[in-house]
């Protein structure tokens, strides 16, 4: 089975995250997308994160009713900060019959060489690179990077940072997050 691994802070999860995941499943790029809420991303240390439990709860609410999407909590068992290579290797050991495809935005592809063991990720796993506003999709040579696939998925100009800022200013976020996530954000003080 081809499994897309979509890892992130999801601080909070928004409609763009879910729409991209649905797109990849519905268009046959992967059979399922496993969304992993990272407890601590080494490239985002020091940023304001909602609690791990709140981010996980919202992620579970957001995928309800979406066939082929699943929340994976494997990084909760791993040492922090969470390095993608460790997560992928652990998944490969636990699920040897699955073929894992790491999902990254064009913004992360531009800094992929800053990731721990990035060359090993490219050697041992597949990458799906999707467009992000302000980051043109790269031309990727299949001879240089045979495990990288660039997909021209729809773009969503939404960021978790903008959602948090809108919440702090009392702005309406109903078009940015699943209604269940909006309700969660409004009723949980730790957010």
Task: Give CA–CA dist 23/14, Å, rounded.
Answer: 15
Query: What pLDDT digit, counting tens, does each position of 3-45 carry?
Result: 999 999 999 999 999 999 999 999 999 999 999 999 876 655 5
pTM: 0.92
Coil, strand, or helix at residue 108?
Answer: helix
> Which two three-digit tokens encode residue 33?
């997308």
Query: What pLDDT digit, counting tens, does each position of 66-79 carry?
Result: 999 999 999 999 98
Identify the architecture of domain 2-187 in CATH.
3-Layer(aba) Sandwich (3.40)
CB 148 within 8 A of CB 140: yes
Instruction: List the strands of the sheet with 126-130, edge to edge.
Output: 69-71, 32-37, 2-8, 99-105, 126-130, 148-150
Q: Which residues pair with 105 in a beta bridge?
A: 130
Query: What pLDDT digit, counting tens, does each position of 135-177 carry?
Result: 888 778 888 889 999 999 999 889 998 999 998 898 999 999 9
Q: Is the pLDDT of residue 54 over 90?
A: yes
């Amino acid at each position: 089975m081809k499994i897309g691994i979509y890892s992130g802070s999801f601080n909070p999860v928004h409609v763009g995250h879910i729409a991209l995941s649905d797109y990849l499943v519905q268009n046959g790029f992967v059979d399922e997308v496993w969304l992993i809420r990272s407890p601590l991303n080494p490239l985002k240390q020091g940023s304001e994160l909602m609690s791990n439990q709140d981010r996980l709860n919202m992620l579970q609410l957001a995928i309800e009713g979406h066939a082929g999407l699943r929340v994976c909590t494997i990084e909760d068992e791993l040492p922090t900060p969470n390095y993608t290579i460790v997560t992928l290797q652990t998944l490969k050991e636990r699920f040897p019959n699955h073929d894992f495809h790491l999902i990254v935005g064009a913004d992360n592809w531009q800094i992929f060489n800053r990731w721990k063991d990035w060359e090993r990720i490219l050697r041992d796993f597949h990458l799906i690179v999707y467009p992000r506003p302000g980051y043109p999709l790269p031309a990727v040579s299949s001879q240089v990077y045979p495990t990288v696939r660039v997909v021209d998925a729809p773009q969503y100009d939404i960021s978790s940072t903008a959602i948090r800022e809108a919440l702090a200013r009392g702005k309406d976020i109903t078009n940015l997050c699943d209604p269940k996530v909006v309700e969660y954000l409004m009723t949980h003080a730790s957010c």
